Amino acid sequence: MGWFSRKKEITLVTPVSGKVVSLSEVPDATFAQLTMGDGLAVQPADNKIVAPCDAAVTYIADTGHAIALTSKDGIEILIHIGIDTVKLKGEGFAASVTNGSQVKTGDTLVTFDREGIEAKGYNLVTPVIISGGGTIKVKKVQSGADVSAGCDALLTVSPGK
């Protein structure tokens, strides 16, 4: 049974501690123009990405900079660590999961060398995108809010009309 037939809200916790940023402020048109989907971003204050909900890992980039999850309710979530960080070819990223892994809310997905990556000039703003199409409504926390990984709500997703 698909997620849209369940007609309930799902709350995703923030996958990284830091400050909430509107997608419109992300310095990458693909995210800022919602090309990949709606959501929010977080400017990381630490170096760990955790699962925002109970989910299956459907994709993790070989470079460790991006991870896709599908919640048990069928919500597709993309977490993209930084802008243009694919150019690092995995340097500074360590995945704790593999494709097909089942994760619980708060489980560590990826760790990264925040200071080292920023020292190389990369912006680590981390978009959290609800992808996969369909009609959804996304309630977001306010831009500028400080959030703690695995604890604070970031997005509430509900089926649209």
User: Which active-site residues does the annotation give?
Assistant: 80
| Contact predicate 93/110, CB 8 Å | yes
Indicate the SS3 state at residue 88: helix
Rounded CA separation 161/159 (Å): 7
Rounded CA separation 17/22 (Å): 15
Which residues lie across from 142 on neighbouring strands? none
Contacts of 129 (CB under 8 A, 6+ apart): 23, 31, 36, 37, 38, 39, 77, 78, 79, 80
